[in-house]
């Protein structure tokens, strides 16, 4: 949710500070009036103003990737049911082919009825269409370069087709959402799950349920829990908390990725570019380096 010039300025700073990845959110537009409550705030209100910048993630990510050499990127999350699955697959395949091994696709469904209505789509079918989008993305972006694929679903039915370029390495797909259907989708179809802002106490039962659902589905292989823990201090005082929660999640058979927003805790104006830069550098020196040493 940074201005575009901040994205390009701060991506190299994050890479130099030792961050593994940058999460990029998605919002098509901001309806002046919305007919549903935001599900992750106490009063149902949106906590961001109308002019908050949401550079399209599949535009922002290649720009930042070109300005760095190692940093990975994750969409947090692309509202896949708002996009045609073949066009989404084309975009993802192109970005992933340009920057092999540096893109993780976080997907979810939108909670805003107006997004569906004004884009000429049905909100009622969003879950099924999200599942079909994941299927198509697996076919096109599953690694091995361009291949002939076809898909026969309820909302998409194609003959044989090829999308080129396509990545040699599979693009990991992680699923967002805290609802029971979202958790089942993550456990059964995803390479991981991505949270909204939560406390560790709020996350524990969710992660336990994810581990159970994966066991029920006989799922194997790595599974990423990408979490934003509000109660883990983004400074040196939080090192033990990060390490302890990492151990706890690993004990569930999950691999944890921590999201952090250290500029909100650094003092000064959190929207100021210099504050953001300094907070990233400080977090790298005070938290990432010591944790890596452990």
Average pLDDT for the chain: 96
In this predicted structure, what is the pLDDT of residue 227? 97
In this predicted structure, what is the pLDDT of residue 35? 96
| Residue where the block lists tokens 């953001």 | 276
> Phi, psi at residue 126, to the nearest 5°?
-60, -40
**Angle of the 126-141 helix axis to the 180-189 helix axis, nearest 10:** 20
Q: What is the CATH number of domain 4-171?
A: 3.20.20.30
Are 37 and 49 spatial neighbours (Cβ–Cβ below 8 Å)?
no
Res 158 pLDDT > 90: yes
In this predicted structure, what is the pLDDT of residue 293? 81
Res 51 pLDDT > 90: yes
Res 243 pLDDT > 90: yes
pTM summary value: 0.95
Mean per-residue pLDDT, 30-59:
95
In this predicted structure, what is the pLDDT of residue 234? 87
Taking only the tens place, the pLDDT of each residue in 183-229 is 999 999 999 999 999 999 999 999 999 999 999 999 989 999 999 99
Q: What percent of the chain has pLDDT over 70?
A: 100
């Amino acid at each position: 949710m940074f201005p575009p010039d901040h994205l390009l300025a701060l991506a190299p700073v994050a890479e130099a500070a030792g961050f593994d990845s940058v999460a990029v959110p998605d919002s098509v537009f901001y309806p002046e009036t919305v007919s549903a409550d935001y599900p992750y705030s106490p009063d149902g209100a949106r906590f961001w103003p109308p002019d908050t910048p949401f550079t399209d993630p599949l535009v922002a990510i290649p720009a930042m990737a070109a300005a760095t050499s190692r940093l990975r990127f994750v969409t947090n999350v692309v509202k896949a049911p708002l996009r045609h699955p073949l066009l989404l697959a084309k975009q993802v395949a192109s970005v992933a082919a340009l920057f092999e091994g540096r893109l993780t696709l976080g997907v979810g469904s939108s909670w805003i009825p107006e997004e569906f209505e004004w884009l000429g789509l049905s909100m009622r079918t969003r879950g099924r269409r999200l599942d079909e989008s994941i299927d198509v993305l697996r076919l096109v972006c599953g690694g091995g370069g361009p291949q002939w694929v076809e898909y026969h679903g309820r909302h998409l039915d194609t003959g044989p087709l090829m999308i080129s370029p396509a990545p040699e390495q599979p693009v990991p797909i992680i699923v967002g959402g805290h609802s029971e259907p979202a958790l089942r989708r993550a456990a059964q179809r995803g390479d991981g799950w991505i949270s909204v802002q939560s406390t560790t106490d709020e996350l524990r039962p969710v992660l336990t349920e994810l581990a159970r659902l994966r066991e029920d589905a006989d799922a194997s292989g790595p599974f990423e829990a990408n979490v934003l823990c509000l109660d883990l201090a983004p400074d040196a005082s939080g090192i033990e908390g990060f390490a302890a929660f990492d151990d706890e999640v690993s004990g569930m058979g999950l691999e944890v990725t921590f999201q952090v927003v250290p500029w909100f805790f650094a003092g000064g104006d959190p929207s100021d570019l210099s504050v953001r830069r300094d907070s990233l550098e400080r977090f790298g020196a005070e938290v990432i380096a010591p944790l890596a040493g452990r």
